[in-house]
Structure 1
């Protein structure tokens, strides 16, 4: 867009700073936020928002950052929120991240210097073929990068700085929301939607350039607790029923060629064991259940129950309990009632010179739950790739296009009002 020709983007500078701050969330922690260190980034973001003239920026006790970009129009424009999360996944270390910028990428494999076994192979990352001549950011080989979702943070912050420095551009009131604990499914547990005061939202937490996601998994958490029979191992014959061995048999009977993350794609759901612990007497297995269909999600729960009962038949003195907890639901059920949200985002992507890609996401975002809480909220691209692992990467040029898209969305809502 012409308005960005002379603009010096700040997204990269911000991103390189944000990723060095350890913000991993902790699923085992009962506190909110689950880790206090997430607030370290929250405080920095508030300081930066204040510096660009957004005086009401604040960090609350639960680790949420709220801020307002004031309206520049006399029109009655719906209040739009842009949202990203501050935490990174606990699947891979996020401590002492050392980001690297690989300038003028030419299609080669990228060897990460702190561990030469960590190679981002072009053949395994097909989106790299579209990055020739661009600048690629990676970690150094011993941590994740944190583009999920610090890229989104940096892009929203850059867009905010652009709008604050261009008050002649017409847009309605814009609210900014940065959340903790998204990676552990608790990103909006304590959000104050009345305080936020937005009518519609966009999470900036997507992958490929130009993508917009209006559909997510529906998700449940499941826990099987097994009560076995313990006895002295020297005298256990005919008495011991090991809860650990029972748990292992349940996991072993899960489908392998279907209904597992490693054997599914597209619209296929899965049953995925994520943790197992215990002793001879008591053991637990934690699962995540995922599907785009709520009906199929219920079927997955039934499959898990049938497997558990089949195994338990061989252990008459033991028992089990299956607990199911709803995590989030497919946001398409809500977004279909608000077609302008996706339509305007696709137009904003086009105005940034990109072909929009409307698609589903095999996962969830804060927008999944926000949509069902009364804030319809599709997900737009941040440019992050291979997240939750050491091969995570992002393109600087894709980040800039995300900034343009955010700004365009704000302007389009004003134009259409």
Structure 2
């Protein structure tokens, strides 16, 4: 398999390039600096021997590894994103390498006393004896999802250098702006031309996911009336008090900090208020479609109740769907999940099949006609200074990609028969 130092060098060459996306920009990509890595990736794909390498006007990259077998094989794809989260800075990333991790605290930054500790981040203990890549405590790392890109490019390079491994036609795609929810918006599924694909964008080794939240965003606007407080009796309407009533009317325990697994939630993530007007920004999440619709209805009903109390319309709710649970698109083609599970088993990995408490490009792509489960990329603690990735996890992900290619080229009829 791809040797460790080669993986490290490739990964480092990606993460030192700042590709933070910007939710306040309407451009695609949302930041000009994403082009720096996009151009590098397109050139690198050509250098390793990929064919039909394209980089379009929106920075979407696609490339082909041609089939090396004569019999018909479904065209499959692998997808990752190259932007990093705007939640924490991705500028001047200085990756640190810790070999043969001993299970103790890792000092990320001695000056600022920033420590990555297994006492708090217990997942570290899964990787004792392995090589850990971290930040210097001042930035995120960018393993989400530059680890996925590293793995896809490395797997394609390995297959090119080992033509004795039989595989069908493989398409790879790299997208901008996934972290701001737009990674699949301008992805040309028809041009990609795969029967199915996998996003390499999960976390812990073994993660295999084909269900995610149904998601919506909501803006609650409360209108008040401002008059001089000295003569306000019977006239002033303080929008912040009504907004507080609205907040307190939603189920207090159905919030992110009180839920897990398939439990949905309401998440208030923005509040801007004055007497005259208050805006509340929510996200609504639920794996169950009926519960999801009920949550949206509840938010409108609470507004209606408050308007009735005020005897005028003071509260309005604007709800926009964002993405849906890809499970309904994956279940009719469950052989693609079974292939990935077998690929992991052949790599000595136990598959961890669980719902995603979030969304992926794969969710949107599945509803665009490209069924797309999600596979681990190996990183942990995304979007912050404590992000890390074990090199061995990236090596295993490369092995899984190669195994998927091999299994798909052999005989997938047995997987499909189980669906019938």
Compute the TM-score of the two structures, normalised by the length of structure 2: 0.92
Contact 1:381/1:402, CA 8 A, preserved across alignment: yes
- Counterpart secondary structure, 1:83: strand
In structure 2, distance between residues paired with 1:313 and 1:145: 50
Q: Distance in 2 between matches of 1:306 and 1:91?
A: 32
Query: How much does 1:145 deviate?
Result: 1.3
Deviates more, 1:145-154 or 1:351-360: 351-360
2:262 corresponds to which residue? 267
Partner of 1:27: 23
Q: Deviations over 1:255-294 (max 9, x none)?
A: 33x2100000111111001223354433322211111101
Does the CA-based 8 Å contact 2:201-2:377 persist in structure 1? Answer: yes
Encode CA deviations 1:351-402: one digit per residue, 9 max, x unaligned.
1121222221111111111111111110011011111222111101011000
Q: Distance in 2 between matches of 1:159 and 1:384?
A: 18
1:173 counterpart (148, 160, 169): 169
Cα-to-partner distance string for 1:280-333 (whole Å, 9 max, x where unaligned)? 433322211111101111122233234444555565566222112111111111
200 and 84 in structure 1: CA distance in 2 versus 1, 3 angstrom threshold: same
2:418 aligns with none
- Give the number of equivalent residue pairs: 412
Partner of 2:92: 96
- The TM-score, its normalising length taken from structure 1, stands at 0.93
SS of residue paired to 1:384: coil
Q: Deviations over 1:168-227 (max 9, x none)?
A: 321111111111111121111111111111110000011111121121111111111222
Equivalents in 2 of 1:77, 1:115: separation in Å? 55
- 1:164 corresponds to: 160
- Pairs within 5 Å for 1:14-413: 14-113=10-109, 116-232=112-228, 235-256=231-252, 258-277=253-272, 279-312=274-307, 315-316=310-311, 319-413=314-408
Q: Output one character per residue of 1:43-77: Cα deviation in whole Å (capped at 9) or x when no partner.
A: 11111111112242222111211111111111211
Unaligned runs of 5+ in 1: none
- Show CA shifts across 1:138-189 (max 9, x none): 1111221111111101111111111122223211111111111111211111
